[in-house]
Structure 1
Amino acid sequence: MTHRHPQHYEERGLSQLPVIVGMGGVNAAGRTSGHQAFRRTILDALPDTLQAQTILALAAMMQLVTRLEDGAWQDAHGEILDAADVVSRYRQHVLDHTLIRRIEDERFGSEGIPANRAAQLDLDDALTFRVRRRQLPNDLPPTWQVRDIDKRMVEVVVPPGSLNVLLPERRSAQVRSAGQLPSGFAPETLYRSVHHPRGLSMTIFGASDCLGQSGLDWSALRNRLDPDAIAVYAGNSIGQLDNEGWGGLLQSFVGGGRATSKQMPLGYGQMPADFLNAYVLGSVGATGAVLGACASFLYNLRLGLEDIRSGRRRVVMVGTSDAPITPEIVEGFRTMGALADDESLKALDALTLLTDSDYQRACRPFARNCGFTIAESTQFLLLMDDALALETGAQILGAVPDVFVNADGWKRSISAPGIGNYITLAKSVSLARDMLGEDSVRHRSYLHAHGTSTPKNRTTESHVFDMVARTHGIEAWPVAAIKAFVGHSQGGAAGDQLASALGTFAHGVIPGIATLDAVADDVHAERLRFFRDPLPFEADATFINAKGFGGNNATGLVISPAATERLLAKRHGQRAVDDWKHRREATLAASQTYLETADSGRFEVTYRFGEGVLEGPELSMTRDALHIPGFDRPVSLTVDNPYGQL
């Protein structure tokens, strides 16, 4: 069913404006809600009180300290500290164990990655060994002689000749830097996770963080709408490839293990959406995921925008959750020549040994660089149509009028750059110019670059930016490249960028490219503004850019809260906006309560396993409506017929 626009929209030929009413997640910089992760990327530019608040909240998140009921803090040794003591004692630890850094997974350490090497043994004499009966192959080679020793053990004699074996070994990790979640933060410990892949545990946290930050009562919001007026579009670019997902499944035979009943279903790339519907939101509305490599977040966002603009849905949660820091995925990208491996980093700076500080500088967008830095992240947005946002008193963190997607056309290779990104960015800027005016685009907009830190990207993406800037008369377009801090989270990359953009709108500062010692000679920088230190900037709009592997290009236009309010006043009238601000007070108070709790390291994660389960017989149906227990309103079964009648 199409959920109709308000009458004045139809009369004026306008669409609903998709606005952002909630955000949540976590990446290497910290928690998304309350702009915690954003503040970590501009830490030195913040006032002292806000710096201390950020460090304190991160220390709690990283389980370095626990807040007591009287407001004091206790560390792991039981010592009681005040807030100032916590900041003084743990500041450097927080700085060293957030953002890009040396990989902390022991598999990437000095002992090396567990592996096997195929070998052929030439036996001059018979080989005799003992083994447990259950460890014997199902199909024994016909030349093997097996003798029972007892109920559990057997003796095997292998005659002289050739024997194929796998010899266990440890392989040194060739890539040792990544954008990991803050040390000590374990999303799987916050709820009853049972063999959940890391990406799905991150999904549960990210969506819960989004709902908490929104300040909205989800049950009340859901019950005021047709259940089919809600949608969820969430996924990732690769699927779940750790041991609890498809990684463990695919390794089971070769590694001598056993597949579990959960590895196959939990590995699917759309599983974040499935988890949200089943365990967080209880939604029966539209669902799905679009996989578009590094542009996946924007692809899913586009689905949500189209639903809201058309009136098909009124509330949509969109997002991604990627956890690709596994030896196999890292090795796959390394063999492509895409990652900044240790040897390349040494060569880049003429070093013989890499230190922790060198790993922290691994990602260098638009500078002399040698490859991207892999990362994990989960990011979610809660979207509404603007009429419902005003009606419910929701926060409005910004608006996303559109996301443009174009392919590259004919390509030299599947990984080579192409022309699609010129189209997506140019369309986004044209829309911003039409909505906000040329002055806003020229002087109060900035770019959130894909900025991967590969030599190819720095040239091709900067040329896209340069051509569009010249076309629109932009002389010094500021460029942010958030991957310098948090790395490249694959399908979630644009989510990291968008979360950062919302932070810029709130704080009036664009993060600098901290690893940019100098702009590389092959960067088209004449009309672009690159900077290392945070830049004070009052933005009306930003352009979230993604250049995905295989030609998956996307650019999203995001409008600031202030500019959105001006649009709302024009669309609905100033009185409607004033009434909304009054209703919003309760929402802001609820959001602040959640943020204060989260800053103390206590997270209210929603995970409702087995609650309210319905299988069909509980429903009641008429020709026009389906009634679902637990929902105040029925699902309308009246649908539009755009094709006419015989």
Structure 2
Amino acid sequence: MVVTGLGVISPLGVSAPELWAGLLGGLCGVRALDGPEFEDQAVRIAATVPADPRSRLAHPQARRMNRAAQFAVLAAREAWLDAGLAPGGARDSGLDATRTGVSIGSIIGGAPILVEQDRRLRERGPRSVSPLTAPMTVPSQAASQISLDLHITGEARTVVSACASGTEAIGQAVDRIRHGHLDVVLAGGAEAAVTPAVMAAFAAMRALSTRNDDPLAASRPFDRHRTGFVNGEGAGLLVLEAEEHARARGARIYCEAAGWGLSADAHHLAAPDPAGVGIERAVRRALDDAEAGAEDVIHVNAHATGTVDGDAAEATALRIVFGAGTVPVTAPKGGLGHLQGAAGGVEAVATALTLHHGIVPPTVGCDDLDDSIALDVVRKQARELPATGDLALSNSFGFGGHNAVLALRRR
């Protein structure tokens, strides 16, 4: 299975090249939330997309989609074209539409639509509720809208596993191709959950960074002074296909989708297992699935959200598998924020580009590395990948103990 196309809508820009330039440049997409609905919030910062997705879609199409689905369709179009496929969709590209699929991770999906329509119901009565509420609320809308937009009829699946959703969706796509069910899959994640209710909920958990006065320094993965994550939004998708299929049509190959691993902590409603046992298990399963060993890994794209306990648990697991300071690690949430269900998709794109270009982007916000982390965190400036070895891991872990790890191999 190989990666042939990349598409991104993120706080660092509205394309994969803009994402890559932002990561290499150490930029940060965290911004102040200026709307009146956020005035009384304890946390008034988030990593938001710097463009209105509705302006890039036909109006009749945009008004029928929730914001996450809008992001997903735009990222899918970019990935599709980047893979050398025709804008008209599967059949116009010479693909068998029935053997082409979509696999998208999302946590909240269109829940903000339901919140808004509930407000209308209470204020103005049942007749004010939009008939589009139900189809725009379901988390599966992003997958279905991509399917509609590109005329993909093989399957359109949705994965919901907290912040591991995007990575698990990619892993599921790898398996669908591996076992001969599909030839091509658009896979990744999409989320748009920077809303008053969601911000208040995360703030009530004390999970968010409260650096309202300094947004650019709010997200601090692995840093000694980290205080919580920064909520974000966006979408990231990859075109995956069987290598034989890709070569037959002369596609450019970014890297190989070598394998993936899943596990569950079974530890706590929200907190990770501090011993990192579940994370370690997911990492080892990804290595086994890729038929590789720890010595083959040249890079880890860490989940590292900037929470005290989460970063520590991940670092513990990585030290157990790889040893202290042996593998270059980067944590893109310092610049991107935490994109929830989209995080795994956007960070898989970043990992694919790391392998493709041979460069590890620096970790934004990690100015004073916590000594207890004891990892080789790439900071301050980008670094070339090691010459020996060929595997990179992209980690995603979620509330409730969901752990997913994607293994990509450079070509």
Change (3 A) 1:235 1:515: closer
- Secondary structure at the aligned position of 1:302 is classed as helix
Deviations 1:510-558 (A, max 9, x none): 12122112122442x0x53442322222573210111111111000101
Match of 2:53 in 1: 187
Change (3 A) 1:479 1:263: same
Measured in 1, the distance between the counterparts of 2:163 and 2:73 equals: 21
Measured after TM superposition, the shift of residue 430 of structure 1 is 4.2
Measured in 1, the distance between the counterparts of 2:184 and 2:64 equals: 31
Deviations 1:580-637 (A, max 9, x none): xxxxxxxxxxxxxxxxxxxxxxxxxxxxxxxxxxxxxxxxxxxxxxxxxxxxxxxxxx
Measured in 2, the distance between the counterparts of 1:222 and 1:206 equals: 19
Task: Report if aligned partners of 1:546, 1:554 keep a CA contact under 8 Å in 2.
Answer: yes
Counterparts in 2 of 1:38-117, with a 5 A limit? 38-43=20-25, 99-108=29-38, 112=39
Match of 1:381 in 2: 238
Match of 2:299 in 1: 446
Match of 1:416 in 2: 271
**Counterpart AA for 2:140:** Q
Measured in 2, the distance between the counterparts of 1:377 and 1:238 equals: 13
- After superposition, the CA RMSD in angstroms is 2.1
Measured in 1, the distance between the counterparts of 2:23 and 2:100 equals: 34
Unaligned runs of 5+ in 2: none
Task: Report if aligned partners of 1:248, 1:259 keep a CA contact under 8 Å in 2.
Answer: no
Measured in 1, the distance between the counterparts of 2:12 and 2:339 equals: 12
**Aligned counterpart for 1:271 among listed residues 123, 128, 141:** 141
Is 1:237 paired with 2:107? Answer: yes
**Counterpart AA for 1:260:** S
Measured in 2, the distance between the counterparts of 1:439 and 1:340 equals: 35
Measured in 2, the distance between the counterparts of 1:189 and 1:283 equals: 24
Deviations 1:458-494 (A, max 9, x none): 2111000110013xxx752111100000100101111
Q: Select between 186-195 and 383-392 the one with higher mean Cα deviation.
A: 186-195
Is 1:22 paired with 2:5? Answer: yes
Measured in 2, the distance between the counterparts of 1:256 and 1:262 equals: 17
Match of 1:248 in 2: 116
Change (3 A) 1:476 1:531: farther
Measured after TM superposition, the shift of residue 218 of structure 1 is 5.7
Is 1:366 paired with 2:230? Answer: no
Match of 1:543 in 2: 393
- Secondary structure at the aligned position of 1:234 is classed as strand
- Secondary structure at the aligned position of 1:451 is classed as coil
- Secondary structure at the aligned position of 1:496 is classed as helix
Measured after TM superposition, the shift of residue 103 of structure 1 is 2.2
Task: Extract structure 1 runs of 4+ deviating beyond 6 A.
Answer: none
Please identify the structure whose Cα radius of gyration is greater. 1
Q: Select between 208-217 and 298-307 the one with higher mean Cα deviation.
A: 208-217
Measured in 1, the distance between the counterparts of 2:87 and 2:174 equals: 20
Task: Report if aligned partners of 2:269, 2:399 keep a CA contact under 8 Å in 1.
Answer: yes
- Secondary structure at the aligned position of 2:162 is classed as coil
- Secondary structure at the aligned position of 1:319 is classed as strand
Measured in 2, the distance between the counterparts of 1:221 and 1:510 equals: 34
Measured in 2, the distance between the counterparts of 1:477 and 1:439 equals: 9
**Counterpart AA for 1:369:** R
TM-score, normalised to structure 2's length? 0.91
Unaligned runs of 5+ in 1: 1-17, 45-94, 113-171, 346-353, 563-646
Measured in 2, the distance between the counterparts of 1:255 and 1:359 equals: 35
Task: Report if aligned partners of 2:91, 2:151 keep a CA contact under 8 Å in 1.
Answer: no
Measured in 2, the distance between the counterparts of 1:284 and 1:548 equals: 30
Measured in 2, the distance between the counterparts of 1:475 and 1:538 equals: 13
Task: Report if aligned partners of 1:27, 1:181 keep a CA contact under 8 Å in 2.
Answer: yes
Measured after TM superposition, the shift of residue 255 of structure 1 is 3.9
Measured after TM superposition, the shift of residue 422 of structure 1 is 1.2
- Secondary structure at the aligned position of 2:190 is classed as strand
Task: Report if aligned partners of 2:299, 2:385 keep a CA contact under 8 Å in 1.
Answer: no
Match of 2:204 in 1: 335
Task: Report if aligned partners of 1:317, 1:383 keep a CA contact under 8 Å in 2.
Answer: yes
Deviations 1:374-425 (A, max 9, x none): 000111111110001000011111111212111113x2x3112133211111
Change (3 A) 1:485 1:203: same
- Secondary structure at the aligned position of 2:31 is classed as strand
Match of 2:68 in 1: 199
**Aligned counterpart for 1:533 among listed residues 368, 381, 395:** 381
Match of 2:287 in 1: 429
Measured after TM superposition, the shift of residue 505 of structure 1 is 2.4
Measured in 2, the distance between the counterparts of 1:270 and 1:330 equals: 22
- Secondary structure at the aligned position of 1:306 is classed as helix
Match of 1:514 in 2: 364
Task: Report if aligned partners of 1:514, 1:533 keep a CA contact under 8 Å in 2.
Answer: no
Counterparts in 2 of 1:100-499, with a 5 A limit? 100-108=30-38, 112=39, 172-182=40-50, 185-190=51-56, 191-192=58-59, 193-194=62-63, 196-217=65-86, 222=91, 224-242=94-112, 245-256=113-124, 258-278=128-148, 280-341=149-210, 345=211, 355=213, 358-367=214-223, 368-409=225-266, 411=267, 413-418=268-273, 419-432=277-290, 434-435=291-292, 440-441=296-297, 445-470=298-323, 475-499=325-349
Change (3 A) 1:458 1:319: closer
- Secondary structure at the aligned position of 1:340 is classed as coil
Measured in 2, the distance between the counterparts of 1:388 and 1:291 equals: 29
Measured after TM superposition, the shift of residue 451 of structure 1 is 0.5
Measured after TM superposition, the shift of residue 221 of structure 1 is 5.4
Change (3 A) 1:339 1:438: closer
Measured after TM superposition, the shift of residue 175 of structure 1 is 0.8
- Secondary structure at the aligned position of 1:556 is classed as strand
Change (3 A) 1:322 1:559: same
Task: Report if aligned partners of 1:305, 1:402 keep a CA contact under 8 Å in 2.
Answer: yes
Measured in 1, the distance between the counterparts of 2:394 and 2:48 equals: 22
Deviations 1:160-186 (A, max 9, x none): xxxxxxxxxxxx22112111112xx21
Task: Report if aligned partners of 1:38, 1:499 keep a CA contact under 8 Å in 2.
Answer: no
Change (3 A) 1:316 1:500: same
Match of 1:63 in 2: none
- Aligned residue pairs total 399
**Counterpart AA for 1:361:** A
Change (3 A) 1:528 1:40: closer
- Secondary structure at the aligned position of 2:393 is classed as strand
Identity of aligned residues (%): 25
Task: Report if aligned partners of 2:90, 2:152 keep a CA contact under 8 Å in 1.
Answer: no
